[in-house]
Chain A
Amino acid sequence: MSDRIGFLLNGAPVSLPAGTSPTMTLLDWLRGPAGLTGTKEGCAEGDCGACTVVLEAADGGRAPINACLAMLGQMHGRAIRTVEGLRGEEGGPHPVQRRLAEADATQCGFCTPGIVMAAWAQAREGGDPHEALAGNLCRCTGYRPILDALAAMQDDRAPPPVLPVAGTACFTAEGQVFHHPASLAELLRLRAAHPAALLLAGGTDLGLLASEHRQRPAAVIALDAVPELQACTGDAAGLSIGAALPYGRLLPWLDGGLAPFAALLRRLGSRQIRSLGTLGGNLGTASPIGDALPVLLALGAGLRIASARGERACAVEEFLTGYRRTTLAPDEVILAIRLPRPAAGEILVCEKLSKRHDQDIAAVSGAFLLRVEAGRVAAARLAFGGMGPMAARARAAEAALTGAPLARPAFEAAAAALAQDVAPLSDWRGSAAYRLAAAQGLLRRLHWRIARPDLPLEVHAL
């Protein structure tokens, strides 16, 4: 069993000295002991992207992450590339670096190393350039030159790394222990033995403890090396999703009737957040504004929960019990999420309202599953987030829709009934009055989505 944190840094193996705090953030380590100051700190909360580095996968994939949120222990067995590790022929600047400089895509330059890394990943991964940049703020340029540079970039065809095999490991430092189990049995044993330890999946919630709040958790159990928690399987009825599978790797599975869920998840955080963040973490946090939760409720998703005592099944609806409260026992771990596909004749709609379209927490979110038969709403499951202490179904609104003719009055009635279902708060993301009005607006928009599928119905569809 390994007791040293080891990873590839810019292609070269690194083994950290014994006693290195396993919860030190990768960013602090890079800028401090490693002397690599190209990677910047702009916020220490995962939102600005100045700290972006890239995890290189064995299959050639490139996953940008926020070095400020990643703990060193979590990096065990990974291959990390930083801005210093990007070089072109003969050691000069890499073409990605050159292109950004030549496009006048840098003014003060503080965001630039992070943008270089996001761009380097994008050059291989492709996709919507705004999605690639959602996790990188630039306060100077107005982004236009960055987008231009991005559009002109090509993959450098650099070969994938050969990753070290990471078996079960355990890292200790003064007052700290960080378990890195590589099997489910080992995980459940550790969980039973250390019910107070933090269960760390992607760390995009828990990482804030180390990063922003400068804490040194005493005990951590990391989930990322347990194969069962990383697996995903699917059939016609639905998917079984390992609880610790990062969103980035889940997305390709969400096709067909689940495509609206994929589109929503593309707005959860940023690529950096989705490279590490997981559904298990969204459930574990059980925040009323967790993006995935209304969707899991609307689809009637179930959980497989395990402990050394055995395994149990639990509907997500029963799992969530209050503000950041769940039925998870101290010795339990979420194993997998069973996600049914919408059946034929069922329509899934996923909504998220926030001040900014990308990389923002929802003020209101909604997920709606409707079964339409012969011009009537045969069944409706409506779930909202941000409208109370936890994500929950809106039963009165569901009742108003169910059985009604598929026309505007039914949705107006549902919107009116919604007021009985919810008890939103006022805070910086929105007042209670706005939240209710906007949630009602989502139900009205649902009508138009069904009535006028030919029309663009969102400002971002124009």
Chain B
Amino acid sequence: MTAHPAPPQAAARGMGAALRQDSALKHATGEARFLDDLPEPPGLLHAALALSPVAHGRLAPLDPAPALALPGIVAVLRPGDIPGRNDIASAGSNEPLLAEGMVEHAGQPLAIVVGMTRDAALAGAAALRPEIAPLPAILSLEEAIAREAWVMPPQEIRRGDAAAALAAAPHRLAGEFRAGGQEHFYLEGQIALALPGEDGEMTIHSSTQHPTEVQHIAARVLGCPFSRVTAVTRRMGGGFGGKESNASWVAAAAALAARHTGRPVKLRLSRKADMAATGKRHPFLYRWQAGFDGTGRILALDATLAADAGHSLDLTAGVVFRAITHALGCCDVPDVALRALACRTNTVSHTAFRGFGGPQGALLIEDVVHRVAGALGQPPEAVRARNFAGGENGAETPYGQALEGALIRRVWAEAQRDADWSARRREIAAFNAAHPTLRRGLGSMVLAFGISFGQMHMNQAGALVHVYTDGSIRLNHGGTEMGQGLFIKVAQVVASVFGVDVDRIALSATSTAEVPNTSPTAASTGSDLNGWAAHAAASAIRGRMAAVAAAEWGVPAEEIAFAEGQVTAGGNRAMEFGELARLAYMQRVSLSATGFYRTPDIHWDRAAMRGEPFFYFSYGAAAVEVAVDLLTGEHRCLAAHLVQDCGRSLNPAVDLGQVEGAFVQGLGWLTCEELWWDAEGRLRTLGPSTYKIPGSRDVPPVLRVRLLEGAPARSETIFRSKAVGEPPLLLATAVWNALKDAIGTDRLDAPATPERVLMAIRGG
């Protein structure tokens, strides 16, 4: 059991205020600098990657001559040019930076071409003629399963005896379906700028969610101690998980080129190269058998969730862990056997994407509920509610952590009420009866999403706070800003500790030189972890400052209060915050502190696949309406009512934006974003012209989002808030459900493009 600081006063200034993203106005004026906007250092060179056109094959040593013959080419770097290890794996150790001997997927980097200009480097990379003798490639999940090609051993969570319970159940059904992957499509592509310094130092500006991993992997590739490499990130133009592990190898490639040439090197991937060479959300294939009774109670479930990991492990362990821990959603099933397969295919290595396997996991139970409901002639909502965890059913997940049944029922009741569900049902039935070619449908979703990193050690964070003698404050922490509003939220925490306005807090770029050994900003943990760490640092300084004030005024330190830029004691003593900072300095009291935090109370037994791996769960519910054209498969989401539990929101404006953005991203994953690989295993949807993320018209005209009120977190989260980055993405599952409702189909694979919908209507 870990001790942790007491939660601060709820009424603290700055907390819970709907403050704007810290850079909002600078974004709008164009002054906010993204990495590619930084003034270019003198002598800058540019790098480009040569990528494999073949999915699997034997690679002959690459001849650099065709590139070197072109003007402006400085170097062509191949595996032999790597001074350290040719290994960029974030977990395990099986992923080269540059293919050596063997090519494992189309789009795999083969060489780094360095040029005087970006165009020269790109032309050089295009001129290379890799010789690859093709080998048979595994390009489908079915094939990987048949050949038992895994990147890690299958995982299994069991409770009770699923086989026996299936056999004993009054009714049985089996199902199979699939969900596609998803490209992150961060608007700012992958980019890094490496600056060589003295004594083998390397400073890397990287658009990354994980500066520490950039540092580690660059150091591994360069063959130098971590202490020689500094990774810096001010802001990203979007990340969504795509800049968790993938940013690291891009940065390592830039660092390698900088080390080799002794000059600064920038590597900015073109959109095409980015989409070809970086991993995506894992596609899944599901096969299940369920047993249930006439009331819709699901008694037994035996299911296999097969994830397409691509050619290497990357973060797949965490993704399949989250998929099977979320495969029952908010439901309870007494006897279960859930297997997760991490399939090895000759595809780019799939990676983190907002939800990290959770959204894929949750589709399983939703499909089962839909089919059971269909078999019994009940609405899916009734079947889901019949199986809600808690209440009359068990509250514990099969791996042994309790869900909060009351919250599950509450979010669903509120979403249903907001949507005026029964009235909509009647209206829709009337519309459908009268219209010759259009069908409307209703769908819902109730989610329970566990918050914490699946890797226990990652649940830690550090922060560094300085107070200067004029009372201004500088804040640094291990979290990165990618638009999710983390910087402003953590600044609000620090401002509240010091009782000052948030404007007094200077935010600074995340840097491994300021706060070391950090975790990625991911798994929705950014504000929890970094908020607490910053809170600890600020509290330490405040404690010292309070002691100074107490001594000055001759009062007990407990009487010192920090509020509204003032430090006070009782009713009659007051001093400006800056005045006290000066006083502390004159008395030689340190005004700088680091803060550290680790999430308490979580544990996981890998062998037994049991434990309480999540600090807490976040809940949410959605009720949506769609319309489908039976003649063409065209469809549209007409209305969405969302209720999301954010605990006591740290910043409602930021949280609302996260809920809406995640919902629309989930809508894209499930309806229009289709990754299309050709028969040779080459991804052919390599840009926004062919890969379609939602546009403004795809957002339902009625979009009502509510943060659940009066629902402070039970766990000791920062200010009793709850994480909000990922969970609401699962709310979009309601759209998939609504489409099935509208067309009355058993099976609808995702993404439910107009084509899949039309083919489902026609029974194809």
Q: Complex: how many Å from CA A144 to CA B695?
A: 11
Q: Does A192 contact B (CB under 8 A)?
A: no
Cross-interface CB contact of B438 among A43, A112, A437, A456, cutoff 8 Å: A456
Q: Does B6 contact A (CB under 8 A)?
A: no
Instruction: Enumerate chain B residues within 8 angstroms of A142, measured Cβ to Cβ.
Output: 657, 660-665, 699, 703
Q: Complex: how many Å from CA A428 to CA B698?
A: 20
> Do the beta carbons of A141 and B695 come within 8 Å of each other?
no
Q: Does B158 contact A (CB under 8 A)?
A: no
> Do the beta carbons of B688 and A45 come within 8 Å of each other?
yes
**Residues of A332-366 whose CB lies within 8 A of B:** 353-361, 363
Q: Which residue on chain A has the smallest CB distance to residue B690?
A: A428
Binding-face segment, B231-239, B337-345, B361-369, B564-572? B231-239
Q: Does A309 contact B (CB under 8 A)?
A: no
> Do the beta carbons of B30 and A353 come within 8 Å of each other?
no
Cross-interface CB contact of A445 among B33, B437, B672, B694, cutoff 8 Å: B437
Q: Does B685 contact A (CB under 8 A)?
A: yes
> Do the beta carbons of A47 and B689 come within 8 Å of each other?
yes
Interface size class of A (residues with CB under 8 A): 35 or more
Binding-face segment, B146-154, B214-222, B584-592, B755-763? B755-763
Q: Complex: how many Å from CA A363 to CA B757?
A: 15
> Do the beta carbons of A143 and B436 come within 8 Å of each other?
no
B117 to A: closest C-beta gap in Å: 10
User: Does more than half of chain B's interface fall in helix, strand or loop, or is it mixed?
Assistant: loop
Instruction: Enumerate chain B residues within 8 angstroms of A134, measured Cβ to Cβ.
Output: 695-697
**Residues of A407-462 whose CB lies within 8 A of B:** 427-431, 433-434, 437-438, 441-442, 444-445, 448, 452, 455-460, 462
Cross-interface CB contact of A358 among B627, B697, B758, cutoff 8 Å: B697
Q: Does B522 contact A (CB under 8 A)?
A: no
Pair count A-B, CB < 8 A: 273
Q: Which residue on chain B has the smallest CB distance to residue A100?
A: B28
Q: Complex: how many Å from CA A437 to CA B632?
A: 8
Cross-interface CB contact of A459 among B627, B690, B699, B762, cutoff 8 Å: B627
**Residues of A96-148 whose CB lies within 8 A of B:** 96-98, 100-102, 104, 106-113, 116, 129-130, 133-134, 136-147
> Do the beta carbons of A141 and B30 come within 8 Å of each other?
no
Cross-interface CB contact of A44 among B271, B632, B633, B656, cutoff 8 Å: B271
Q: Complex: how many Å from CA A31 to CA B36?
A: 9
Q: Does A311 contact B (CB under 8 A)?
A: no
Instruction: Enumerate chain A residues within 8 angstroms of B271, measured Cβ to Cβ.
Output: 42-45
Q: Which residue on chain A has the smallest CB distance to residue B482?
A: A108
Q: Does B375 contact A (CB under 8 A)?
A: no
B707 to A: closest C-beta gap in Å: 14
A68 to B: closest C-beta gap in Å: 10
Q: Could you give, for residues 81-109 of chain A, a 1 whenever the CB lies within 8 Å of some chain B CB and a 0 otherwise?
A: 01110100000011011101110101111
Q: Does A326 contact B (CB under 8 A)?
A: no
Q: Does B4 contact A (CB under 8 A)?
A: no
Q: Does B29 contact A (CB under 8 A)?
A: yes
Interface size class of B (residues with CB under 8 A): 35 or more
> Do the beta carbons of B692 and A139 come within 8 Å of each other?
no
Q: Which residue on chain B has the smallest CB distance to residue A47?
A: B688
Q: Does A381 contact B (CB under 8 A)?
A: no
B466 to A: closest C-beta gap in Å: 26
> Do the beta carbons of A434 and B657 come within 8 Å of each other?
no
Q: Which residue on chain A has the smallest CB distance to residue B637?
A: A459
Instruction: Enumerate chain A residues within 8 angstroms of B676, measured Cβ to Cβ.
Output: 427-428
Instruction: Enumerate chain A residues within 8 angstroms of B694, measured Cβ to Cβ.
Output: 143, 356
Instruction: Enumerate chain A residues within 8 angstroms of B634, measured Cβ to Cβ.
Output: 353, 357, 458-460
Q: Complex: how many Å from CA A147 to CA B631?
A: 31
Q: Does B484 contact A (CB under 8 A)?
A: yes
> Do the beta carbons of A37 and B699 come within 8 Å of each other?
no
Q: Could you give, for residues 239-250 of chain A, a 1 whenever the CB lies within 8 Å of some chain B CB and a 0 otherwise?
A: 000000000000
* A460-B636 contact given A37-B33, A140-B661, CB 8 Å threshold: yes
Q: Does B122 contact A (CB under 8 A)?
A: yes
Instruction: Enumerate chain B residues within 8 angstroms of A106, measured Cβ to Cβ.
Output: 21, 23-24, 27-28, 483
Q: Does B764 contact A (CB under 8 A)?
A: yes
Q: Does A388 contact B (CB under 8 A)?
A: no
Q: Which residue on chain A has the smallest CB distance to residue B438?
A: A459
Instruction: Enumerate chain A residues within 8 angstroms of B34, measured Cβ to Cβ.
Output: 40, 110
Q: Complex: how many Å from CA A462 to CA B695?
A: 18
Q: Does B270 contact A (CB under 8 A)?
A: yes
Q: Does A72 contact B (CB under 8 A)?
A: no
B393 to A: closest C-beta gap in Å: 34
A282 to B: closest C-beta gap in Å: 16
A47 to B: closest C-beta gap in Å: 4
A379 to B: closest C-beta gap in Å: 24
Q: Which of A46, A93, A142, A459 has the most B CB atoms < 10 Å from its CB?
A: A142
> Do the beta carbons of A137 and B758 come within 8 Å of each other?
no
* A438-B482 contact given A130-B697, A427-B684, CB 8 Å threshold: no
Q: Does B457 contact A (CB under 8 A)?
A: no
Instruction: Enumerate chain B residues within 8 angstroms of A303, measured Cβ to Cβ.
Output: none
> Do the beta carbons of A214 and B123 come within 8 Å of each other?
yes
* A93-B29 contact given A42-B187, A462-B638, CB 8 Å threshold: yes
Q: Does A373 contact B (CB under 8 A)?
A: no
Q: Complex: how many Å from CA A177 to CA B396?
A: 73
Instruction: Enumerate chain A residues within 8 angstroms of B21, measured Cβ to Cβ.
Output: 104, 106-107, 109
Q: Does A39 contact B (CB under 8 A)?
A: yes
Q: Which residue on chain A has the smallest CB distance to residue B759?
A: A434
Q: Does A48 contact B (CB under 8 A)?
A: yes
Cross-interface CB contact of B657 among A104, A136, A139, A455, cutoff 8 Å: A104
Q: Which of A106, A111, A456 has the most B CB atoms < 10 Å from its CB?
A: A106
Q: Complex: how many Å from CA A29 to CA B708?
A: 49
Q: Does A223 contact B (CB under 8 A)?
A: no
Q: Does A300 contact B (CB under 8 A)?
A: no
Q: Does B579 contact A (CB under 8 A)?
A: no
Cross-interface CB contact of B689 among A138, A353, A361, cutoff 8 Å: A361
Q: Complex: how many Å from CA A363 to CA B27?
A: 36
Cross-interface CB contact of A109 among B32, B672, B762, cutoff 8 Å: B32
Q: Which residue on chain A has the smallest CB distance to residue B185?
A: A139
Q: Does B17 contact A (CB under 8 A)?
A: no
Q: Complex: how many Å from CA A291 to CA B674?
A: 22
> Do the beta carbons of B36 and A37 come within 8 Å of each other?
yes
Q: Does A212 contact B (CB under 8 A)?
A: yes
Q: Does B426 contact A (CB under 8 A)?
A: no
Q: Does B20 contact A (CB under 8 A)?
A: yes
Q: Complex: how many Å from CA A40 to CA B238?
A: 13
B683 to A: closest C-beta gap in Å: 9
* A139-B438 contact given A37-B30, A43-B271, A144-B703, CB 8 Å threshold: no
> Do the beta carbons of B696 and A101 come within 8 Å of each other?
no
Q: Does A260 contact B (CB under 8 A)?
A: no
* A109-B37 contact given A48-B187, A355-B692, CB 8 Å threshold: no
Q: Does A391 contact B (CB under 8 A)?
A: no
Q: Which residue on chain A has the smallest CB distance to residue B636?
A: A459
> Do the beta carbons of B483 and A445 come within 8 Å of each other?
no
> Do the beta carbons of B30 and A139 come within 8 Å of each other?
no
Q: Does B31 contact A (CB under 8 A)?
A: yes
> Do the beta carbons of B23 and A430 come within 8 Å of each other?
no
Q: Complex: how many Å from CA A134 to CA B764?
A: 32
> Do the beta carbons of A428 and B674 come within 8 Å of each other?
yes
Q: Which residue on chain B has the smallest CB distance to residue A455?
A: B435
> Do the beta carbons of A358 and B695 come within 8 Å of each other?
yes
* A110-B238 contact given A101-B24, A444-B631, A462-B627, CB 8 Å threshold: yes
Listed A/B pairs (13) with beta-carbon separation below 8 Å: A37-B36, A42-B688, A47-B689, A109-B483, A112-B27, A113-B27, A137-B695, A139-B184, A141-B660, A214-B122, A444-B631, A445-B631, A457-B438
The 8 A-B residue pairs whose C-beta atoms are closest, nearest first, are: A38-B30, A108-B483, A109-B27, A110-B237, A107-B483, A441-B631, A142-B664, A47-B688
What would 9 more interface pairs be, CB under 8 Å, given A110-B34, A110-B186, A448-B436? A104-B20, A109-B235, A110-B238, A111-B237, A139-B184, A140-B661, A141-B661, A142-B664, A143-B699
- Residues of A participating in the B interface, judged by any CB pair closer than 8 Å: 31, 36-48, 50, 82-84, 86, 93-94, 96-98, 100-102, 104, 106-113, 116, 129-130, 133-134, 136-147, 212, 214, 353-361, 363, 427-431, 433-434, 437-438, 441-442, 444-445, 448, 452, 455-460, 462
